Structures are given as structure tokens and as C-alpha cells.
Structure 1
Amino acid sequence: MLLPLILTSFIALGTYLYITLRYKRFSQYAHLPQLPPSLLLGHLKTMDEYIRRNPADAHTGIIPANHRIDMAFAAMHEKLGRPPLFLVDLRPVNIPVVLVTNHEIAEQVAKASARFPTSPPKSTLKYLEHLIGSASILSSDDDQWKALRKRFSPGFAPQHLVTLLPCILDKIVPFVKYLDDYAARKETFAFVPLITNLTFDIIGSVVMDTDLDAQNPDPAMQGELVRRFSELLITYNDDKADIPWWLAPIRELKRYQLSSRIDVLIKDTIRRKFAEQRGASMSKEKSRSILALSLGDADSLTPELVNVTCDQLKTFLVAGHDTTSIMLAWVFYELSLHPHVLAAVRAELDSLLGPDTDPEAVRARFLSPEGPEIVQKMTYISAVIKEVLRLHPPAATARYSEPGTGFTVRAPTGEEYCLDGVVIYNCEAIMHRDPDVYGDTADRFVPERWLHDGGAGSQVPASAWRPFERGPRNCIGQEFANIEARVIIAHIARRYNFTKVGLGEILRDEKGEPVINDQGGYKVTSPMYKTSYGEAGGWDESQSGPDRLKLNTQ
């Protein structure tokens, strides 16, 4: 009697599990466009097959973007006929993800609503906690996020940022000297580590009024905060960066130790800077840093205020140095391939700064009373930056709506989709190359599309360009990144000619002359793609990213 009962129980349990699994795979999200799922693996095997089609070293880490995965998503999107969104079922490894590939739907995801006053909450960032802290503005929601945004927004306001131009200019001086040395020696070098160290130094000065000494040519002599951050970043830059801690306990311990030391260093800085502010007898002696401004109304430093401020500074240091440096690397690569764009950039700089390209002369112009106005008048350079961010977006956003919330989006064609219980991923890498928006030039580098001269480019909807995302939770530092990039470009775009070496270099004919394509740019030997980080502060030394360069002065 017992054996039949056991067999009956097993059959009943097996039937229940089969029916449940079949429902979850084939019915639960059947209303969403998707490739055919597997009963046991969902889209995991399909995802793996698409990822394997990409170059083995294409970037899969969290910084600057999950590029190899985005490449796989783009191929899946094409296979499905380019729907406005589609599902990728990653269970049991992760909850399902809906890729948003239409800018109108992305706008609905990022905007505020009665249910979500600050827009839908970010998807879990728990695995980044060692890097950005538990109270980061990135992972905060509702009232906590509002309070942080209100507190730090004045420091990132354009009218305040232009007062910090001297901080930016001071850090560019050693950077130009390093470039001069490479140009004089005519040797190949890795550009991204240099520009990354520069942006690290700038963000340290602007945010904390602190010299991080990130540009020291000897990495061992760089400031301890830079070195510890670099070591911590390495633990996040592989395709297993977000696996559970219990599957990589040694890595988790290392992250904990590095993060704890970073906290000590930053909290010491917060206390020291607060004491300096309180001791300043005259307003002109007071720091203008973002940290100082955020603490302006504080009568005392409570442990909670120190902890929360520390997490914001960690977030600003990570985001503020990394994405800007990679964007600038792509700027100079694209300029090296498009001589007419480079000529237009140089002409604009000549008109704004005068013909003298000496760094001291450029610096003097920015420090003059007209300096802030010059920054704002860099119209064509702003278009170049905007186009680079379109083609090479540094990041994306992921949101999550709890089951039962009823979060629904409407496609341009009228269909409605409930997105409860899935990660909602606004995939800029696909949206920014949408031919329905950008036409036949969707994959081409065309800065002129952003000049708003009444041409076709001026018809691009605002919601179709979102490298800093949009809505109430757009990037707090986007104006800082733009100002910083313009000033750096102004110092070096006229001073040097950049030549890519290795993958992605210019194709030359038998006479050694560049081969020109039908758009007036140079053809390349092979396509470019983002690669993983291989060392602190920069991309790896394989010649795959816009990194290995040669310089010669103008």
C-alpha cells in the first residue's frame, strides 16, 4: 500500500511541477514578444549562443556597459523583427528581463507617475554595494532619493560648475605634459589610462577639493584612494561580477576589505573638510567643492550624515571618472577617422579661443571673464559629444515593478504591456541606432544632426537620446561631464593628431595614404568594440578599444 502511495505522490508532484513550469515558460509572459523559450532553460541557451557570436574580449562587465550582452540583445532584436520591447527569460539564474528598444516606451518607464512619484524603482543594485555604498543616490528611492537629490543638486548646477573651472584647468596641466612627452618620443601608448587618471583627478578636486594624485606616472605613488578604488573596480570587471557572494567568497572578502578602507579614507576627508569650512573666517576662503556645498547647512557631523555623504562621494567618484574618460576616448577616435569633423572642431576653437594653441594661452582664455561663456558657445563640440554618446552610450537604466503593481506601458502602435515582475531594461545601445528615428545614418557618426538647423537631424525626438537617461532620475552629473569634456577637448584637439594603432586603425593604400569612404571619413582595418578592463583605471592592453594611440603635434 505504501509504494503505490509514494508513486502516486511523485506523479502528482511531477505533474504539478511540470504544469507550473510550463505555465511560467509559455504562458506567464506570452503577451510579450520573445524568441521561442526552452521548457527547462528559458532563453539561457539562446542567450549564450548569441553572446558567443561576439568577440571573446568584448566587454561584459558593469562598466562602462554590458556591451557584449547588448550586442547579443541587438542580434536577438533583429531576429524578432525589431519589436518595441521583448522578453529574455533568464530563470532560474535571474528574473526575466524586458528589453525596451523604443524611445517612447522608455520615456514611460523613466517618467514619474502617481504610483511612482520618482519613477519606477531601480532594479536591485545590491551587488554594487561595496562600490557605491548602501545609501547611494543610485539605489535610493522615494523620500530618501528626493532628499539626496535636493542636497546635492546645487553643487551640480551649471552656474556653480563654471565657478569650478580653475579646478579642472589645474588638473589638465600635467595631462598635456604627458601627451607632449609621448608625441616627442613618437611612441605608441595607451590613451584610456591617461584620460581616466585625469578625470579621476578632476572629480576628486571638484567634488572633494582634494588632490588624489591620480596622474602620478608611477601607479604605486598615486593617492591611496585612487589605488584602492582601482583595485576594487577590477573585482567588478568580468562576466561573473554579479554572481552571488557565496559562490565567490574570496572575492567578496576582498571587496569588503577594499570598500572598508575606502570608507575610512573618504570619511576622514569629510571630517577634515568640514572642520576647514567651519574654521574659514572669510567666505572667499571657503571651498566651492560639491562636498562643501552639500554640508553648508550642517551644524554638526552626525555619524549618519558622514555615512550617507560617504556613499554619495563614492558614487560620484566612480561614475564621474569612468564614463567621462571612456566617452573622451571615443571622441578622439571618431575625430581621427573623420577629418571634416576634426577641422570643424578646430575652426570653432580658433574662433572662440584665438589662434594660439599653447596650453597656457588656452588656460588663460578659460580663466578670463569670458571663460564660462566660451564653454557654452562650443556648439559644434557639443554636437560631437552628443553624437559620440549616441553611438557609444556608457550606461543604461534598469527598473523593477513588483508583481501586482499593474505597471503598464503602451507601444506606439497601441498595444499595452504589463511589465510587473520583470527587470525593465531601457537599452540605449539599440534605441540610439534606431533607423526609424535616425534614418539611413543611424550607424554613422554625424554630429551635424544635432545642430538644429532645420534639417532632418533637428527632428530627432528628445526622448530618443538618453545616455544620461531622462525623467526625474536622470544623471545628476551630466552637465559636469559636458563641461569637463569640452574643456579637455579644447586643450588637445588642436594640439595633436591622434592615430589609432591595432584593431580599428585606418586603412591605407599602397602609398600609405588613408582610404576614404563614401561619407568623407577614413576606412578602418576592422570594426571597434568595447573591451573589458585589464588593469586599474583603464581598458586592457589588447588593441581592441580606442586605446592604443600615436600622437604627433600640430
Structure 2
Amino acid sequence: MEDYVVVLCSVSLLLLLCGGGKAFYSIWWKPKMLERRLKQQGIRGTPYTPLIGDMKEFVRQIKEAWSKPMSLNHQIVSRVDPFTLNTVQRYGKISMCWVGTTPRLIIMDTEIVKEVLSNKLGHFHKPPLNPQILILTKGLSTLQGEKWVKHRRIINPAFHLEKLKGMIPVFAVSCSKMIEQWKENPFLQGRCEIDIWPELQKLTADVISRAAFGSTYAEGRKVFELQRELLTLTVEAMQTLYIPGFRFIPTKKNQRRKKLHNEITSMLRNIVQNKINAMRAGESSVDDLLGLLLQSNGQTDLSENASSTRSNEMMTIEDVIEECKMFYLAGQETTSSLLTWTMIVLAMHPDWQEKAREEVLRVCGEKEPNFEAIGRLKIVNMILNEVLRLYPPAIASYQHAYKETKVGDIVVPAGVDLNLPTLLIHHDPELWGDDAVEFKPERFSEGVSKASKDQQQAFFPFGWGPRICIGQSMAMIEAKVALAMILQQFSFELSPSYTHAPYTLTILQPQHGAQVILHQL
């Protein structure tokens, strides 16, 4: 019995030592080792605080910045991303901070940014995702490696410019519907106040529903309404301390998230399967994103019983469902953000609003814009690019070094995160000149490549390299159609009730809404 007790104590002590050793390595030894390697290269940054890193200070600065509005100008960086700005100002444009136990490199050198995003060696991927995000979608933007390559290859044809050209009438239908609702406002009588943020969210949700699901867009729209609720609950969960396994505890909100996820997946499964059956029977045209995706995927073989060889070359039904979720998350939110900030900025700069309207009326008259007309809207294109520069929907891109690699003169050890701060790069006077925080669309008059100072190509609103946003052309075409149709019917100014308070949750958005006064023309 005594021998048994001795063995038990010895094993317990060994396990305790092993656990303590692993904890010591993860919490102290590895972070300090990575910190030392970065410091040896002259990279400075915030001191390491075990376990929590800079989270406490990050939250404090964000709360302070978001607690009050700002002046009516475009110097938004200090309000939207104060922690990154303060770190760069204190330690340099290549500096270091901490996300828990992981060091994060902030890189504002545009050549290194492009090198990282080009990822020629394949050593950089997205940072490990919080499992709470994956309940929203496991689509293209969350994938890595061969699976990402396969999905990108299959999805690409659906976003080809010729295919998008045929969707312009679909965009116009949704815009016409919104404009008619605005005109029917009983308070209009020549002018009325509207919060355009929720209005433009509804517009882009309707657009992506019609574009993705064609004749079944009403069913798709219902899915997206549920997904919006799921997004809200997910963002809320991510703003609290992540505790592994907590999402499985049957709290009221966890149960609601699970129910929404199951309902969304079930509805999309029915839509996808019905589309497959209709296409096989020749009863459905291939003119929406889902149809194009299934066609590119080889829809006649898309079934649960597809051969293993063929299945390796195509997406499963589950994959298609996840990509349908991604259509909404990537397409709807990005375009609504761009359109909202464009209308706010044009309300702040009525001279450019009038220039854009004159161009639209000269090119389109009173007709809905078509593909040819959109290509001739040079001023509108310049305005949208300048808004994307000042108010990019995604304020940063994040990568993780899974293998040690060299970018520029920096050796990035495996295990280090990278923050490529799009917003800070877009507002950098060294790249854009002393007028970097001013709204000057003319800087894009000769195209994107010549817009920044010394032609450094410092414009990354949709990313860069092989993982550049697949829907960027669709977002720009949709924004041009919507903006042109609004300018044909209304002039607009900021309401006295508007509070300039840009902030970011999943995307850059107005914290207190976007109230404008519409004047019907």
C-alpha cells in the first residue's frame, strides 16, 4: 500500500512538473524568446505583460476614444485605432505589441506589406481563428492551403467581370426599390431626414440576396436576416474574455447562437439542393452567384454520393453552404460601409457632390446606369477610391508566421502575428503628402498606381496579392450603380443631428448612425 502511495505521488508530481513546465514555456519562455529575437533586429515595442499582453491598455484606449465624438473632419485614425497609432508614434513604423502571449509586428512599410500579402513562400496565413468566428462561416476568407486554392479556383468564374456585367440590372432593381420608398416618405415634401446607415445595409442585403439567389432571393434575404442576428451575437461574444469551451455551456445566448446557426444552415441546404435539381432539369438559368458557383463546381456531379476522386476536385454541398454565408458577410457589409461613408463625405463636400451629379446626368441622363456608362463615370470612381482611402471598410489585415521567414530586412520568427494597418497606411503623410487627411479625389485622376506620393502604391482597401478580395469588382460596380441612381434623384446634406463618430466592429461604420437630409430633385 505504501509503494502504491509513493508511485501515485510520484506520477502526480511528474504530471504537475510537466504541466508547470509547459505553462512556463507558453507564458514566459517562448514570448520572451520571440521578443529577444525581434529586439535583436532593432524592433522596439511595448513591454510584455504575462498572459494578457496589451489587451488591458488596448481596451482602455478604445473605450476612451469611442466615448466621445470627433470634429467634422477626416482625421479619424486617433479615434478608430488609437492603440496602433500610439504604438507606431512611440516605437516606429515597424514596431511590436502583444496579443496575449503572442508578439504582433505592426508593419507600415508598403513594400514589406506587399511582400507579406504576396506570400510567395506560403509561410504566412491568417492567425488562428477564435472558434466563435467560425459559427458565422467557414468560407473562403477563413480557409488556408490547398482547400483555399480549390475554393478560390471554383469561385473565381462567378466573379468574372463579364458575369458581373449581367448583374447590373439586378443591382438597379434594388436601388430603384429603395429610392421609391424614400420618395414615398410622407415627411419628404421636398426634403426629409433619413439615417442612411440602416437604409444602405438593407439595400446591399437586398442586392446580394438577388445577385446570389436570383428568383429565390426572398428566401436568401430571410437567411441573411438571421445571419445578421447571429453576427450581432457573435461580435458580442468576442468582446468578452474568451474561455475555451464556454461556447458549449447552454446559456441563453449560446443556445440562440446554436439555433440560428442550425436554422441558417438548414435553409441554405434547401436553397442549394433546389437550385441543383432545377439546373439539372433545365428549369433554372445560370445567372446568379449560386448558379454560377454550382456550374463552375460541376453541378451535375454535386451530390453526397460523388466519387471520391471527383469529390477531391470539387466542393461539397457543405462547402457551398459556407460560401453562400460568405457572400453575405463579405459582400453586404463592405459595400454598405463604402456607400454610407461616401454619402457622408459628399454631404461634407457639396462641391464634389455636384461634380459627381453633373457627370452622372451627362453620362446617364435619367436612365439607369449600364455597364458602358459605369466605365465612363471617372469622377464617381475617383470619389469612391478616395473614400476607400480615408474610410476603408477593413482597417487592417492580420497574418501569422507559421514558419520563420524573411521579409525585407526582417527575419520574422515562427509564432509571430503581423498587423498590416491599412487605415494608418492610407493616412500616412509620408506616403500621401501633407494633405493626406484631406478629401481630394483628384489624387486618383491618373489611376491608383499614381495616386500616392512617389508612386509607392500605398492603396490596399481590398488587400493585395493572391488573397485580394474576390468580390472587389462586384463591390465597386454595385457602389457606382447605387451612388449614380441616388445622385440622379436627390441632393443631400448632413443633418444637425449627425454625430461624426467612425468606429469599427467587424467593419468601419458610424457609431451613432448617419443622419442626412435628402432633397428630392
Shorter-normalised TM-score: what interval?
0.7 to 0.9
Give the corresponding residue for 2:201.
196
Kindly provide the CA deviation profile for residues 69-88 of structure 1, in whole angstroms up to 9, marking residues without a partner as x. Answer: 723211221222xx332211
- Quote the Cα distance in structure 2 between the aligned partners of 1:538 and 1:228: 22
Query: What's the secondary structure of 2:399's corresponding residue?
Result: strand
What's the offset of the Cα at 1:188? 2.9
Give the corresponding residue for 1:520.
none
What's the offset of the Cα at 1:538? 12
Give the corresponding residue for 1:234.
232
What's the offset of the Cα at 1:531? 5.9
Name the aligned partner's letter for residue 96 of structure 1.
Answer: P
What's the offset of the Cα at 1:54? 0.8
User: Does the alignment pair 1:157 with 2:166?
Assistant: no
What's the offset of the Cα at 1:417? 3.5
2:164 and 2:474 in contact (8 A); partners too: yes
Name the aligned partner's letter for residue 553 of structure 1.
Answer: Q
Give the corresponding residue for 1:261.
263
Task: Say if 1:295 and 1:66 are closer, same or farther in 2 by CA, change over 3 A.
Answer: farther
2:417 to 420, 423, 427: 423
2:209 and 2:218 in contact (8 A); partners too: no
Give the corresponding residue for 1:88.
97
Query: What's the secondary structure of 2:335's corresponding residue?
Result: helix
- Quote the Cα distance in structure 1 between the aligned partners of 2:422 and 2:256: 32
Q: Normalised by the size of structure 2, how large is the TM-score?
A: 0.82
Give the corresponding residue for 1:512.
none
- Quote the Cα distance in structure 2 between the aligned partners of 1:416 and 1:120: 14
1:42 and 1:90 in contact (8 A); partners too: yes
2:87 and 2:97 in contact (8 A); partners too: no
Kindly provide the CA deviation profile for residues 20-65 of structure 1, in whole angstroms up to 9, marking residues without a partner as x. Answer: 489358625324633341554543444344334312389xxxxxx9
- Quote the Cα distance in structure 1 between the aligned partners of 2:467 and 2:104: 21
Query: What's the secondary structure of 1:466's corresponding residue?
Result: coil
- Quote the Cα distance in structure 2 between the aligned partners of 1:325 and 1:244: 33
Name the aligned partner's letter for residue 303 of structure 2.
Answer: T
What's the offset of the Cα at 1:98? 1.6
User: Does the alignment pair 1:375 with 2:374?
Assistant: yes
Give the corresponding residue for 2:174.
171
Task: Say if 1:43 and 1:112 are closer, same or farther in 2 by CA, change over 3 A.
Answer: closer
- Quote the Cα distance in structure 2 between the aligned partners of 1:164 and 1:98: 41
Kindly provide the CA deviation profile for residues 365-416 of structure 1, in whole angstroms up to 9, marking residues without a partner as x. Answer: x3xxxx22111111111111111111111113211122xx221211xxxx42
Give the corresponding residue for 2:483.
489
User: Does the alignment pair 1:294 with 2:293?
Assistant: yes
- Quote the Cα distance in structure 2 between the aligned partners of 1:342 and 1:421: 48
Task: Say if 1:532 and 1:495 are closer, same or farther in 2 by CA, change over 3 A.
Answer: same
Q: Normalised by the size of structure 1, how large is the TM-score?
A: 0.77
2:206 and 2:221 in contact (8 A); partners too: no
Give the corresponding residue for 1:78.
89
1:50 and 1:75 in contact (8 A); partners too: no
Give the corresponding residue for 1:142.
145
- Quote the Cα distance in structure 1 between the aligned partners of 2:77 and 2:149: 28
User: Does the alignment pair 1:399 with 2:399?
Assistant: yes
2:493 to 466, 490, 499: 499
Task: Say if 1:435 and 1:538 are closer, same or farther in 2 by CA, change over 3 A.
Answer: closer
- Quote the Cα distance in structure 1 between the aligned partners of 2:28 and 2:200: 55
Task: Say if 1:453 and 1:57 are closer, same or farther in 2 by CA, change over 3 A.
Answer: closer
Larger helix fraction of residues: 2
2:140 and 2:148 in contact (8 A); partners too: yes
- Quote the Cα distance in structure 1 between the aligned partners of 2:257 and 2:78: 24
Give the corresponding residue for 2:61.
50
- Quote the Cα distance in structure 2 between the aligned partners of 1:67 and 1:435: 15
Task: Say if 1:504 and 1:531 are closer, same or farther in 2 by CA, change over 3 A.
Answer: farther
- Quote the Cα distance in structure 1 between the aligned partners of 2:58 and 2:407: 25
Give the corresponding residue for 1:100.
107
Kindly provide the CA deviation profile for residues 130-166 of structure 1, in whole angstroms up to 9, marking residues without a partner as x. Answer: 1113xx1112222211111111111101111011112
Give the corresponding residue for 1:515.
none
Name the aligned partner's letter for residue 106 of structure 1.
Answer: V
Name the aligned partner's letter for residue 158 of structure 1.
Answer: L
What's the offset of the Cα at 1:455? 12
Query: What's the secondary structure of 1:302's corresponding residue?
Result: coil
- Quote the Cα distance in structure 1 between the aligned partners of 2:226 and 2:490: 32
- Quote the Cα distance in structure 1 between the aligned partners of 2:166 and 2:31: 61
- Quote the Cα distance in structure 2 between the aligned partners of 1:329 and 1:454: 22
1:156 and 1:476 in contact (8 A); partners too: yes
Considering only aligned residues, what root-mean-square deviation do their CA atoms show, in Å?
Answer: 3.3
1:331 and 1:388 in contact (8 A); partners too: yes
Give the corresponding residue for 2:338.
327
Give the corresponding residue for 2:458.
464
Query: What's the secondary structure of 1:132's corresponding residue?
Result: coil
Task: Say if 1:263 and 1:102 are closer, same or farther in 2 by CA, change over 3 A.
Answer: same
- Quote the Cα distance in structure 2 between the aligned partners of 1:22 and 1:480: 42
Give the corresponding residue for 2:407.
409
Give the corresponding residue for 2:386.
387
Give the corresponding residue for 2:223.
225
- Quote the Cα distance in structure 1 between the aligned partners of 2:460 and 2:53: 30
- Quote the Cα distance in structure 2 between the aligned partners of 1:323 and 1:209: 21
What's the offset of the Cα at 1:101? 1.8
Query: What's the secondary structure of 1:287's corresponding residue?
Result: coil
Give the corresponding residue for 2:349.
338
Name the aligned partner's letter for residue 32 of structure 2.
Answer: Y
- Quote the Cα distance in structure 2 between the aligned partners of 1:267 and 1:104: 43
- Quote the Cα distance in structure 2 between the aligned partners of 1:203 and 1:463: 30
Deviates more, 1:320-329 or 1:141-150: 141-150
Name the aligned partner's letter for residue 399 of structure 1.
Answer: Q
Give the corresponding residue for 1:508.
none
- Quote the Cα distance in structure 2 between the aligned partners of 1:337 and 1:552: 15
What's the offset of the Cα at 1:271? 0.9
- Structure 1 residues not aligned, in runs of 5+: 1-5, 59-64, 215-221, 357-361, 506-526
2:43 and 2:94 in contact (8 A); partners too: yes
2:48 and 2:98 in contact (8 A); partners too: no
1:29 to 38, 41, 66: 38
What's the offset of the Cα at 1:231? 1.0
- Quote the Cα distance in structure 2 between the aligned partners of 1:539 and 1:455: 27
Name the aligned partner's letter for residue 397 of structure 1.
Answer: S
What's the offset of the Cα at 1:230? 1.8
- Quote the Cα distance in structure 1 between the aligned partners of 2:316 and 2:161: 25
1:22 and 1:39 in contact (8 A); partners too: no
Name the aligned partner's letter for residue 274 of structure 2.
Answer: R
Query: What's the secondary structure of 1:324's corresponding residue?
Result: helix
Kindly provide the CA deviation profile for residues 485-514 of structure 1, in whole angstroms up to 9, marking residues without a partner as x. Answer: 000011012321222235656xxxxxxxxx
1:252 to 251, 254, 261: 254
Kindly provide the CA deviation profile for residues 163-214 of structure 1, in whole angstroms up to 9, marking residues without a partner as x. Answer: 1112111211210012213461544332111111111111111122145449
Task: Say if 1:553 and 1:32 are closer, same or farther in 2 by CA, change over 3 A.
Answer: farther
- Residue identity (%): 20
Give the corresponding residue for 1:452.
446
Give the corresponding residue for 1:315.
326
Give the corresponding residue for 2:519.
552
Name the aligned partner's letter for residue 380 of structure 2.
Answer: I
